[in-house]
Amino acid sequence: MSSDDSQTEQKSVMTYVPVYQKDEWKRHAERLGMSQSEFVRTMVQAGRSDFEVPDRYGETEDSEVDDDAEGRKGEFEERVLSTLSATDHRSWDELLEALTDDIEDRLDETLQDLQASNRVQYSGRHGGYSLASGASGGDDGR
């Protein structure tokens, strides 16, 4: 197989999500003019790369350079550099843990705020969180 083939070859990835989440993703994909597969691929890459989601024509909402995004990139680079040392080596997993240590606290705080404002609800019976009746998931693609 040539290196060009490895860039275009596709593999299937399967995951399971609650029905309400799949329905939400389907509606969002339709709004963006994307297939569900394209939507999931784009969202995963967006989460990994912190970039704006392009519309069906490859345009982002703001095609100009986003100074805030550049600032976040610089801040993150500084966090990576400060986590590393010239004498000790850190594995990928150690770096990931060091750089994401506050994500659980941030998620917990955000979910508490959203529940307090009746935008999200938790159901032990259904085993998770969902949008509260009448709440919007946001239309900005993030």
74 and 93 housed in the same domain: yes
Q: What Å distances lie between residue 41 and 4, 53, 55, 72, 139, CA to CA? A: 20, 11, 13, 23, 18
pTM of the model: 0.37
pLDDT tens-digit map of 54-70: 555 555 555 444 566 66
Range(s) of the domain holding residue 22: 14-56
43 and 75 housed in the same domain: no
51 and 72 housed in the same domain: no
pLDDT tens-digit map of 81-130: 888 877 788 888 888 888 877 777 788 888 888 899 998 998 888 888 89
106 and 79 housed in the same domain: yes
